[in-house]
Amino acid sequence: MELEADLELGEALAAGHVRALAELYDRYGQLAYSVALRVLGDPGRAEDAVQDAFLKLWHSADRYDARRGSLRSWVVTAVRNRSIDYLRGRGAHERREREIPLDAEAQGEGSDPWNEVVTAMERQVVREALTCLPPEQRQAVELAYFAGYSHREIAEMIRVPLSTVKGRMRLALEKMHSYLQGRGLPL
């Protein structure tokens, strides 16, 4: 059902129907803005980042493939990337190729589990999953995802070997996955 809904909306976007863009924004605009604000900490810049991201999606809608990932993931990835660009002082043209792979979530085992409305309970559980991580693992995840640092930059910043940073990231995601699965969230 989610795949069909995303497919339909994606096709309407690619056909240039502004109504589809409005629907995309109405579905995910708040999440997008929340992510941008979390990354940038500045409401004005967060607005700019969200606008940039939605317009990028609007202009590249013909490249969206619902079978490779959800619309939600597509929006969040675009907004997160644009926000990181703003944060790191990069123009869009400087962006290195670093899309979070959509196909990672869609290889035969269903798509983005967070596709639809997120309940307060689900939000709480995800927060708990992060909070339960050892501080150094959580730090590695947050510096990468919400601040846009590479593993190399993180290693230099906190003065640990590169392999340690990679290990912390993996352990953090493994633990988060287990925690979420253990609480029955859709994984």
Site for another protein in 31-50 (CB under 8 A): 31-35, 37-38, 43-44, 46-48, 50
As measured in angstroms, the least distance from the Cβ of 54 to another protein is 5
> Per CB under 8 A, which of residues 70..109 are in contact with another protein?
73, 76, 80-81, 84, 96-98, 100-101, 104-105, 107, 109
Please, what is the minimum distance in Å from the beta carbon of residue 135 to another protein? Answer: 16
Is 67 near another protein (CB under 8 A)? no
Q: Residue 33 carries which side chain, given as an amino acid letter? A: Y
Q: How far is the CB of 98 from another protein (least distance, A)?
A: 5
Tally of CB atoms within 10 A around 154: 22
Q: Contacts with another protein: how many residues (CB under 8 A)?
A: 85
Site string for another protein, 123-162 (x = CB under 8 A): x--xx-xx----------x--xxx-xxxxx-x--------
Query: What is the residue type of 34?
Result: S
In the shown chain, the binding pattern of residues 165 to 184 toward another protein, with x for contact by CB under 8 A and - for none, equals xxx-xx-xxx-xx--x----
- Give whichever of 1 and 91 is closer to another protein, judged by the CB atom: 91
Q: Which residue in the set 6, 52, 71, 87 belongs to the binding site for another protein (CB under 8 A)?
A: 52
